[in-house]
Structure 1
Amino acid sequence: MKTEQNTSNSQFARLLPGELFIKEHLTNDDLTLKTNMKPATSNDPNVAKGTETLSESLGLWMLYAVEKGDQVLFAQNVEVLKAYDYQDGWIAWKAGGGNETLVATNALVDDLRIAEALYMAAEKWGDETYIQLANEVGQSILENQSREGLLVDFYDRQNKVASDYLTLSYLNASAVQLMEKHQQVNKELNNQVHSLLNTLPTKNGFFPFSYQLGSKEYVYHQEVNLIDQLYIGYHRAQVGISSPELWAFLKEEFARNGLLYGRYDASTKKPLVSYESPAVYSLAILTASELKDYTFARDLYERMVRQQIRRPESEFYGGYVDMSQMDTHSFDNLLPLLAERRLFNEGTLQ
């Protein structure tokens, strides 16, 4: 499958069932991605539902287009970005859904991901306009969310105030590296981000959840969400930092039970839930790919796709659908699709 990596013509790329599902069941008329397959509304402004769309989904879809080598899909999503609640590089964390309530905050992790995808696309296809857009996002982050030499979670555009904490799973150091390469952040900030990730403490093998800038303290959660842990592990692996304690726990847990649960107790390391998460497996696969742990990546993939509807005759073919609820979340389909494409590109899957 080397053709996929070396050409911008996506006709050579294998069409994956997950991509079909997303296009058929999770795409709005304006080409934004739905948060849920099932129509729903929420009275909570901090929750996205139904046809509302997330900057998270947009960034993952853009990364997938780059990974696939699909220039048309990427260009389509650049137009979606421009039509989104986007102002001088600031990107609302959710939009659409017929909800006119002002969304005043962004999300650092999503903005970094979108900038990363734009820089990668510019490098892949030689389009300077993508660099300009990525630089706008980088400038917004630098101007609004840089505090004490670090980055913080969000900027509230309405109240003109930034948060005073950093959720550690948000810290995408490879995106910050690209921002430094394109002279949007200085070397000091890039080094500080890398240093923070590199020197993260652990408690009983788990990373802290966040860092409070005011008190300069790390915050740990008793209930450990593996998605948060794996995002930290993945972002570290992307810039050459291993996470031996977390990785050993994941491999031991998978060897013992043949699966990974979604949440664990920080003290006992026992699962707190009975469910498995496609997003957990996806992030573990992407991390394994960075660490060149290809056998484990394949084992994780085989377990992940057990949750996918693989029968071509099914209406929901390719989706990670909870059939008891007849619903699914965009996150639980985009991340598995990205991980699967990565495995095909590197030759782990044939």
Structure 2
Amino acid sequence: MRKFKWIIGIILISGGIFFIGSLFQEKKVTNMSMKEIIEKNYMNKEGYIHAHPNQIDSQYLSESIGLYMEYLVQANDAEAFQQEVKKLEKEFLIETDKHTFIQWAIFETAHVNALIDDVRIIAALQHASEKFEQPTYDKLAAELKQGLTGKMQLDGYYPDFYDWSYDTTSARVVLSYLSPEFFHVLTNTKQSLELLKELSHLEQVFFPEIYDLEIGDFQLVEHVHMIDQLLIASNREHIEESSPAFQEWLIQEWDTKGKLFGQYHRTTLEPVVNYESLSVYYYLHAYFELVGENEQADKVIERAKQIEHSTELKNVHFFDFILGQQLTH
């Protein structure tokens, strides 16, 4: 199993926290909608979403189409959602060993999926099926779910990816992936639930981000990613498990500095990078709302808007763009 560990870095949400940029300036000037900006800057001629604006040679990810499908359901755009489903079926889906999987990237060699993106897409299909009264979406969701439950369970857990070229999974559980959607979409999740609860016994500010199935224990890294930390804390709140040490540090950090950086040192609790990210602020806002810190949540939006209006960078990753837009508009 160890020989597959080389690929795990491509799956983490926080494998890179991306900067915001001048596309927001373009939106203000031209008054384009988010959908129009995406179509103009993030889609190739066939309508597939690439990761970086106006860079058709950047990656085409299941993460991107999943985030966009999720947004289109919220925006009640049935026609655009239907178009994305067609693209999903045409390029992203692969059938192997009587199961259907979603490739984590297209237009390049990819033999693995990404659990977090699969769950997001399945949940979007389920919601769209009900909202748009399209039973075919629910049928597709069930087909994709069957692939996960049939091939992606290891020792009672769902690892972060499955490699169909070797018919094996990774040997780790990514704790930020254990979201409400994860528990809603998948079955046999009791052990995953217990992992989130076990974190209460670790007397640390920051959570471990990985549970290693080979050693049967949590894996600690020196530098933690705030997206993962905020998602894990939020996942715990959803199962009624509070995280007082993390919450206290987070509020103090926010009150003291008025900003939150992308990565921190696990022991010193100091930032190890100097950048801020709208995607971090998206999840920070959501977490503050979950724990009843509504005044703090409002201040997060204010800070996000300040960054949005002042930044002139031009390499906004789609992940950061779409979450930032949903936070500030």
* Interval of TM-score (by shorter of Structure 1 and Structure 2): 0.7 to 0.9
Structure 1 residue 305 displacement after superposition: 1.9
Q: Distance in 2 between matches of 1:116 and 1:154?
A: 18
1:171–1:193 Cα contact (<8 Å) kept? yes
State the match for 1:243 in structure 2.
243
* 1:81–1:243 CA distance, 2 compared to 1 (3 A): farther
Could you tell me how far 1:240 is from its partner in structure 2? 4.1
The answer to whether the aligner puts 1:166 opposite 2:177 as a matched pair is: no
Instruction: Return closer, same or farther for 1:21/1:308 CA change in 2, 3 Å cut-off.
Output: farther
Q: What is the TM-score normalised by the length of structure 1?
A: 0.77
Aligned positions of 1:1-350 closer than 5 A: 17-39=33-55, 50=58, 52-87=59-94, 88-96=99-107, 99=108, 102-172=109-179, 174-179=180-185, 185=187, 189-201=188-200, 202=202, 204-309=204-309, 323=313, 326-340=314-328
Name the amino acid aligned to 1:29. K
Q: CA deviation at 1:275?
A: 0.8
For 2:8, the equivalent position in structure 1 comes to: none
Answer whether contact 1:22 1:333 (CA < 8 A) is retained. Answer: no
CA RMSD of aligned residues (A): 2.3
Change (3 A) 1:69 1:40: closer
Write the letter of the residue equivalent to 1:280: V
Percentage of matched positions with identical amino acids: 29
Residues in 2 aligned to 1:292 and 1:193: alpha-carbon distance in whole angstroms: 26
* Structure 1 residue 123 displacement after superposition: 3.0
- The 3-state SS of whatever aligns with 1:89 is strand
| Contact 2:51 2:318 (8 Å CA) reproduced | yes
Structure 2 letter corresponding to 1:39:
Q
Give the letter aligned to residue 194 of structure 1: L
Cα distance between partner residues in 2 of 1:235 and 1:141: 20
Q: Matches of 1:127 and 1:241 in 2, distance apart?
A: 36
Distance 2:275 2:174 in 1: 24
Distance 1:216 1:127, change over 3 A: same
Counterpart of 1:115 in structure 2: which amino acid? I
- Contact residue 64 and residue 337 of structure 1 kept, 8 A: no
SS of 1:146 mapped into structure 2: coil
Kindly tell me: are residues 255 and 207 of structure 1, through their superposed partners in 2, closer, same or farther at Cα, counting changes over 3 Å?
Answer: same
TM-score scaled to structure 2, two decimals? Answer: 0.82
Give 1:277 deviation, angstroms: 0.9
Q: Distance in 2 between matches of 1:23 and 1:251?
A: 38
Aligned residues: 294
CA contact (8 A) 2:119 2:185 kept: no
Aligned counterparts of 1:90 and 1:110: Cα–Cα separation in 2: 11
- Superposition deviation, residue 64 in structure 1: 1.1
The 1-side partners of 2:208 and 2:282 are apart by 21
5+ residue gaps, structure 1: 1-14, 42-49, 311-320, 342-350
Alignment partners' CA distance in 2, 1:26 and 1:82: 20
- Structure 2 gaps of 5+ residues are 1-30
